[in-house]
A and B are shown apart, each in its own frame.
Chain A
Amino acid sequence: SQELEQSPQSLIVQEGKNLTINCTSSKTLYGLYWYKQKYGEGLIFLMMLQKGGEEKSHEKITAKLDEKKQQSSLHITASQPSHAGIYLCGAGGYGGATNKLIFGTGTLLAVQP
């Protein structure tokens, strides 16, 4: 079965610092989704990557997909307190007509002012 491992499990950074979160899959990635979750709330969609080598950016967040390594990375530049939360990667595209997502366990990010 598909498994996703995220690293690190948790991260504390000083405001203004850069950081990277990794998501590694045990199988070939067809669609890789990044979401952000505040504690006790729903998931907010950030980006979706499909093609090997694809890179997308939104404001100060950049995500890349390395198809060969079956890995995706999420990079935040000049972190701000508003970036704090749980970052989840999800893999989809495996179930035929069903795009059920398999999620990693998440990375908890804290940003110290």
Chain B
Amino acid sequence: DTGVSQNPRHKITKRGQNVTFRCDPISEHNRLYWYRQTLGQGPEFLTYFQNEAQLEKSRLLSDRFSAERPKGSFSTLEIQRTEQGDSAMYLCASSLARAGGRTDTQYFGPGTRLTVL
């Protein structure tokens, strides 16, 4: 399977703990996106990478959140000092964008469901 993969699929943690999620995009995709989805809502944009550069962060991404894509391949999303409000599905998507492209198609992974107790 050469789609987007995410690990773990489920994570249960206690409030105040740190968690880290991993996303492996489709190989050769240069763009990688993180979204968060709560029950009954559509996904909300968190942050975006073009290769290894993090080019945009949403205001939703508080200072407790950090994302990396060190070699322009896989990405990690870390949440420090988790709060119950962080409980959500965290989705990763990747795309192949041409120079100047504005409408690349994003392919999503299965998501990581986080539950903060």
Contacts and interface: CB of A to CB of B under 8 A. Distances in A.
Interface of A: 4, 30-31, 33, 35, 40-45, 48, 50, 88, 90, 92-93, 95-106
Bin the interface of chain B by size.
20 to 34
B43 A103 contact: yes
B65 interface: no
Contact of B56 (A41, A43, A95): A95
Nearest to A95: B56
B85 interface: no
Contact of A30 (B97, B102, B110): B102
A48 B103 contact: yes
A37 to B, nearest CB: 9
Given A41-B110, A45-B107, A92-B102, A99 B31 contact: yes
Interface of B: 4, 6, 31, 33, 35, 40-45, 48, 50, 55-56, 58, 89, 91, 93, 95, 97, 101-111, 113
Given A41-B111, A48-B105, A93-B103, A98 B42 contact: no
B100 to A, nearest CB: 8
B96 to A, nearest CB: 11
A106 B42 CA distance: 6
12 contacts: A42-B91, A43-B108, A45-B105, A50-B103, A90-B42, A90-B43, A98-B55, A98-B56, A99-B97, A99-B106, A100-B56, A102-B45
A55 B108 CA distance: 23
Given A42-B110, A98-B56, A100-B33, A93 B102 contact: yes
